[in-house]
Amino acid sequence: MDEPVNRIRRYDASRRQEQARENRARVLSAARRLFLDRGYVDTSVPEVARAAGVSVQTVYKVFSNKAALLKAVFDVSVAGDDDDTPMAQREVIHRIQAEPDAAQKITMYLRHLAEGAPRYVPLQLLARDAARADPAAADVWARMRQETLTAMTYFARELLATGQLRDTLTEDDVRDVLWTYHSPELYELLVLERGWPADRYADFLADALINALGARALGDSAGTGLENPLG
């Protein structure tokens, strides 16, 4: 007697989960569109709910507030999907980690960066601009910056472990240079304002970072011969 009921309950739970995922995806898509079209400050949660075809309560239940929604839209844009696998565990990062050559690591990472930048840099810039008027948006912007700094700390440590960077550089030096070239402002200047294509942007960043960090090829103990711009 209990077996049909159990099957129905399992089906109902599965359907509710699927519906929740569909609602979340619609809300994220609608929020991204409205944020970029109208700006963060001028977009309201009820407008997002209406565009997504869900109730306002549904939006608040999943995202708690508009700032959390902005951060979720950004996170999905960075990853390229709504899979909750952390970026550090993604295949593209594993390939970069497995590469033994420091200059090639940098080049691979920056090609990955340039490929994803059109998805998420506009949202970083949106949060930066909204931070001037909204304390919650300011918190989101600060979290974005801190997450980038943390990621660049790990990358700096990994690059230094190759033994192929300029000997005088500390982990803080490498982290700060990586963080600077990773900044959305540089993308804003070169791609959005000057119209550089993504491949030119990636090549420029790779060349600049390889030179700044003195990255040398495997087996080259003499270094690059370039002057150290960091002193």
Alpha helix locations (H) across the chain? 2-38, 45-52, 56-63, 66-79, 91-98, 102-130, 135-161, 171-181, 184-187, 198-213
pLDDT computed for residue 6 by the predictor:
57
Return mean pLDDT, the chain.
88
**How many CB atoms within 10 Å of residue 74?**
25
**Rounded to whole angstroms, how far apart are CA atoms 33 and 51?**
9
pLDDT per position as a tens digit, 177-225: 999 999 999 999 999 999 999 999 999 999 999 999 998 765 554 443 3
At residue 72, does pLDDT exceed 70? yes
End-to-end C-alpha distance for the chain, whole angstroms: 79
**How many CB atoms within 10 Å of residue 133?**
11
pLDDT computed for residue 89 by the predictor:
74
Contacts of 7 (CB under 8 A, 6+ apart): none
| Residue-range domains of the chain with CATH | 1-64 (1.10.10.60), 80-231 (1.10.357)
CA atoms within 13 A on the CB side of 43: 26
**Rounded to whole angstroms, how far apart are CA atoms 198 and 210?**
18
* Higher pLDDT among residues 217 and 141, named by residue: 141
pLDDT computed for residue 92 by the predictor:
84
pLDDT computed for residue 83 by the predictor:
67
pLDDT per position as a tens digit, 34-50: 999 999 999 999 999 99
At residue 118, does pLDDT exceed 50? yes
pLDDT per position as a tens digit, 25-34: 999 999 999 9
- Phi and psi dihedrals of 26, rounded to 5? -65, -40
CA atoms 193, 78, 149, 128: torsion sign: positive
pLDDT computed for residue 225 by the predictor:
38
Q: Which percentage of the chain shows pLDDT scores above 90?
A: 77
Q: What is the pTM of this model?
A: 0.82
Q: Among 39-48, 56-65, 77-86, 150-159, name the one with the lowest average pLDDT.
A: 77-86
